[in-house]
Chains A and B, each alone.
Chain A
């Protein structure tokens, strides 16, 4: 059974930073692209970033480019998202998902990031 467990969310001031993590199990992690998708309160889903299986290829939404960095550690089956220069509009539940090269096959339960002073 695929399991994706996010952590690292919390309350942060505008301009601040956080590191989100996702621990994966139940599939061969290194063979999957991995992604972050976010959802602001009451809003639709928004793709944020995808990283290829080897970690060499990354993609970002324009809204986060230059502020967010996706990475992975295939030896520890862990996906990360370093979020910096946070803005109020970055407030959302951040979901880890396997896939992104195609559809998003499985999703974690999400971690809430709240940007507020």
Chain B
């Protein structure tokens, strides 16, 4: 099973600042990585697939990068609606696995 490890667990950021979230896979997953956003009481929402491709309707301030085992989600200028939990997920191998999540909170 591929283990996905996200860092940090919590990120405190002021509105308008940049947020950088990391995700590491225990073995290479090529670019088969997705990022999701989840707000309290809501279902997750797909942000990024293929490590760097924005899903439909996702603002350009969200960007993804990386390949192999190291990945990054960057939110260029945090808006109030971006404070949430973010999960990475690999789809290179079965079973599909998620990271433990990074909570982005208001500083």
**Residues of chain A whose beta carbon lies under 8 Å from any beta carbon of chain B:** 35, 37, 44-47, 50, 59, 61-62, 95, 100-110
Contact = CB atoms under 8 A, between A and B. Distances in A.
B71 interface: no
Given A44-B87, A103-B49, A105-B55, A62 B44 contact: no
Contacts of B20: none
Contacts of A106: 46
A77 to B, nearest CB: 19
Given A44-B98, A45-B87, A59-B94, A103 B44 contact: no
B25 interface: no
A46 B87 CA distance: 11
Interface residues of B, number: 22
A101 B95 CA distance: 11
Interface string B1-44: 00000000000000000000000000000001010101000111
A95 B99 contact: no
25 contacts: A37-B44, A44-B100, A44-B101, A45-B89, A45-B98, A45-B101, A46-B98, A47-B95, A47-B96, A47-B98, A59-B95, A62-B95, A95-B43, A100-B91, A102-B32, A102-B91, A103-B46, A103-B91, A104-B34, A104-B46, A104-B89, A106-B46, A107-B46, A108-B43, A110-B43
Contacts of A44: 87, 98-101
Smallest CB-CB A-B distances: 7 pairs:
A103-B34, A47-B96, A107-B43, A103-B49, A45-B98, A44-B100, A44-B101
A45 B36 contact: yes
Main DSSP-derived SS at the A contact region = strand
B9 to A, nearest CB: 11
B21 to A, nearest CB: 14
Contacts of A109: 42-43
B97 A47 contact: yes
A110 B38 CA distance: 13
